[in-house]
Amino acid sequence: MANPFQILSKPPSLVKDPVCGMMVDPAKAPGRLELDGIGYSFCNLNCMVRFRAEPFRYLHPETVKPAAEAPGTLYTCPMDPEVVQDKPGICPVCGMALEPKTFAAGVAESNPELENMARRFRISLWFTVPLFALAMGQMLPALEHLPGWIAWVELALATPVVLWAGWPFFERAWMSLRFRSPNMFTLIGLGTGVAYLYSLLAVIAPGLFPPSFQGHHGRVPVYFEAAAVIITLVLLGQVLELRARGQTSAAIRALLDLAPKKARFVFNGREQDIDLELVRAGDQLRVRPGERVPVDGSVVEGSSAVDESMLTGEPVPAEKHAGSKVSAGTMNGSGALLIRAEKVGEDTVLSHIVRLVNEAQRSRAPIQRVADRVAAFFVPTVALCAIAAFVLWAWLGPEPRMVYALVSAVSVLIIACPCALGLATPMSIMVGTGRGAAGGVLIRNAEVLETLRGIDTLLVDKTGTLTEGRPRITSVWGSEEAHRLAASVEQGSEHPLASAIVAGAQERGLALEPARSIQAAAGRGVRGVVGEHSVVVGNEAALEEAGVRANPYIANAGEGRAKGETVVFIAVDGSVEGALGISDPIKSSTAETLRALREQGVRVVMLTGDSRRTAETVAAKLGIDDVRAEVTPSQKHDVVREFQQAGRKVAVAGDGINDAPALAQADVGIAMGTGTDIAMESAAVTLVKGDLRGILKALRLSRATIGNIRQNLFFAFFYNALGIPIAAGVLYPVFGVLLSPMIAAAAMTFSSVSVIGNALRLRKVEL
């Protein structure tokens, strides 16, 4: 759509700035725009871009209705991403705190749930420490005959911990029963609730208990300290978990914050800082030394080295000059750049990265389904184990058998809390996808991480994937003058070969002249007049059509074609004066990457629409023995299905629109970040830099993440398999060991911390 705003050529006399109301002399106004044939002048560029963004708001303020409230932040569960709501809360499935589904730059990293749990933990600690000391002190011989009113002190200390600090856990336990979704909080609520209510009744009405409930001193024992310590330890576990989850989102916020909040707008020779959201495609912006690039665009003027490590993971700055592409969030070096904005806001590469990482962190890997199925039966099974332990101890245990029965049942409920099982997969997925983004590998969803590690066949496009995708002059025969004249004729063409000829001349410092009488012949070449010279640039058919028959460079043409080059002849005034060999160079990292992939047992197949001769030449240089050339996009899709039907796990790497069907059909589609948007949308993995070495990074990340998840699941299952029998008292008949509820709670917290710590190790994995 054409820009309706135009610079006024004949401004009227003194006028009012429609944004701020100041009177402006149009002849001296920093900014002037025209809308619907009416000119507007502004006192500064900031007013001009604000008017441009919302002209109706400033022209008709009396009729502008208050803007509808923007949709609020959506909240989702990291373990159950299908749970989404428009306000903070807790997940009805697993009981975990919901977290924002999206993040915004510049937003304070406050976490109300973390602050709430941390406050409850601190306060509960003040009550639990003296309560624990008092309870443990009674086990000492000197203090074992303390008066009965001590139990009332314990009640006073335990009540705020259980009923206030632990109240969120009881809410979640009730919700789990209400939604028929038992989870870790079901067990915590049952265990601590039983211990507290039993102890409360023992203090208020001890006469209700039969003799079998009485301890060694004729009193009914109380377990206020167990309930309080359990609540305090679970609160500690929640604080540690929420902090760890916050670290995974901190990476996304850090990426968002890389984009500056202001951009230096350049208009009619004037410059002014404006809010980034007011920048539009086509605007010219100044990026000074040491500043971050605000939007995606291309360099109009200037040269500099730009640090793109935040996008690509490569520490070496990239040289930028007129025509080079720059990305939002990258850091400019020592040179000043004038850039033209091309993609702004949600369309930038940086925003695309954030969106993909966010979606991947909220997705589920197939391996998590195993944990989900186990968890569905786990809680009811544990509840039955606790009941069985209570019954067996009450029936067969030593006196006071009812006390032992209660202790063992509560211990089973507490130690079996499946929090470690629930955290095993989401924590690793969050950390792993964040690590991949930092290394220039974007993972669309968690399933890809599991699928990628099993890939045994890689189908690769040639142009833009194995090669640079930009034709260049790689051989020159004849004089510089012939090359200069050829580039002068070609400089108005958009053909890739023409661009290569012009770029090659510019690199050699050849001065081009305007050409006239241009005539292009599709598939053959172009002719024109430069100065007093008649110039023909093209293949043999173009020369023959122009009446130029003698070609002294035909031998060179054969040599160039043998190397996979396209040979273009240059005829000046009816005589062939030179030839140019043009090819698409192989990326410097391609050969090394393909060799490493083959060493890992991955079969590499070239899949390209290019001519068979060119494809086979490139394949021979790279050691690829299976080449499918001259294939259409639909045929590429069919080749992928052919390999899949043969039982192969197929990944496809490509960068163009013609690769999109194959990328979508593949088990894993890998798009070059330097390619087309549709290719990236069709792929499950995007390599930001477009370097095939990113495939090796993706494979390493996949294997590291899935290995980490399996370690976490082992920790969780092994811990429960070992802890539940001990809590039930199987060691008591032989060793006299009975696990107390407090030790069970400490063990449960330690298991969660071990899973979190193991997942965070992925941040250090070498890609």
Taking alpha carbons only, the member of 14, 64, 7 closest to residue 35 is 7
DSSP string of 26-90, one letter each residue: TTT-SEEEEETTEEEEESSHHHHHHHHH-HHHHH-TTTPPPPPPPP---EE-SS-TT-EESS--B
Query: Phi/psi at 476 (nearest 5 deg)?
Result: -130, 125
Taking alpha carbons only, the member of 188, 673, 665, 168 closest to residue 416 is 188
Question: How many Å apart are CA 534 and CA 630, to the nearest integer?
Answer: 36
- 296-301 and 337-343 strand pairing: antiparallel
Question: How many Å apart are CA 494 and CA 510, to the nearest integer?
Answer: 20
Per annotation, catalytic residue among 461, 610, 667, 691:
461
- 603-607 and 457-460 strand pairing: parallel
Q: How many other CB atoms are there within 10 angstroms of residue 201's CB atom?
A: 14
Side chain identity at residue 444, one-letter code: R
User: Is 461 assigned a catalytic role?
Assistant: yes
Which of the 8 DSSP states describes residue 182? Answer: -
6 Cα distance to chain centroid: 40
DSSP string of 265-314, one letter each residue: EEETTEEEEEEGGG--TT-EEEE-TTPBP-SEEEEEE--EEEE-HHHH--
- Rounded to a whole number, what is the distance in angstroms from the first to the last CA of the chain? 43
Question: How many Å apart are CA 756 and CA 750, to the nearest integer?
Answer: 10
Side chain identity at residue 597, one-letter code: L
The C-alpha R_g of the chain, in whole angstroms, comes to 36
- H helix and E strand count, the chain: 25, 29
Taking alpha carbons only, the member of 245, 241, 222 closest to residue 162 is 222
Helix (H, G, I), strand (E, B) or coil at 666: coil
Q: How many other CB atoms are there within 10 angstroms of residue 582's CB atom?
A: 21
Question: How many Å apart are CA 474 and CA 303, to the nearest integer?
Answer: 25
Assign residue 384 a region (left: φ > 0; alpha: ψ between -120 and 50; beta: otherwise). alpha
CA distances from residue 191 to 135, 188, 383 in whole angstroms, order as listed: 19, 5, 10
Hunting for tokens 């070498």 — which residue is that? 766
**Which contacts qualify for 374-380: CB closer than 8 Å, 24 or more apart?**
374/421, 374/717, 375/183, 375/418, 375/421, 375/422, 378/416, 378/418, 378/421, 378/720, 379/182, 379/183, 379/184, 379/186, 379/187, 379/418, 380/182
Helix (H, G, I), strand (E, B) or coil at 727: helix
**293, two tokens:** 């690039």
Side chain identity at residue 760, one-letter code: L
**92, two tokens:** 């009805």
Taking alpha carbons only, the member of 286, 334, 291, 274 closest to residue 31 is 274
Question: How many Å apart are CA 442 and CA 353, to the nearest integer?
Answer: 7
| Length of the chain in terms of residues written | 767
Q: Which are the catalytic amino acids?
A: 461
